[in-house]
Amino acid sequence: MSGDHEDASISRRVRRLEALLEEKGVVTAGAVDEVLDAFLAGASPVNGARVVARAWTDEAYRARLLTDGTAAVQELGFMDGSFQRLRVVENTDTTHNVIVCTLCSCYPLPLLGPSPGWYKSEAYRSRVVREPRSVLAEFGLQLPTTTDITVWDSSAESRYMVLPRRPAGTESLSEDELAALVSRNALIGTAGV
């Protein structure tokens, strides 16, 4: 599931807009890169994994996370000042969640880091909605036929993150040890923990 020509067109338009802003004196050369570098420096799936580990070890936090994801992650210092709403959806014994953005690639960047190429691809964006079980199998995630799969479509205003099921036998692990078990794909729903 690779990117497409649409990505190149968007990149050209972004570079042109940046050049126009520099020509008009709105920004200096390199200022946009500095802001993006600072933003991306704190964006990592480690952040989402920390949120998950806290939810696995603190029932009150888990309840807040599922009720108001934005406020709950802000408690841990993530997504401060964000205008986007974060909704966290929980995997259970009977339901598995997976996220997508069918229009583009909206994604909770501060919690999951830069999105993988396949997440932005037209193949993933269209197929995971139509045939989620097959797409998940391609990622190596085989779910029982009795498991319901819910696909959540992100938007410019709302982002989603999956709260994976806590693995059995991890009761004695610390938050840091639990966080180390959680991958970016588990936060998207294309992998288990």
Residues annotated as catalytic (active site), given as ranges: 101, 104-106
Other C-beta atoms lying within 10 Å of the C-beta of residue 74: 15
Distance CA 22, CA 44 (A): 29
String of DSSP letters for the chain: ----HHHHHHHHHHHHHHHHHHHTTSS-TTHHHHHHHHHHHT--HHHHHHHHHHHHH-HHHHHHHHH-HHHHHHHTT-STT--SEEEEEE--SSEEEEEE-SSS----HHHH-SPPHHHHSHHHHHHHHH-HHHHHHHTT----TTSEEEEEE--SSEEEEEEPPPPTT-TT--HHHHHTT--HHHHHTSS--
Answer whether 169's CB lies under 8 Å from 118's CB: no
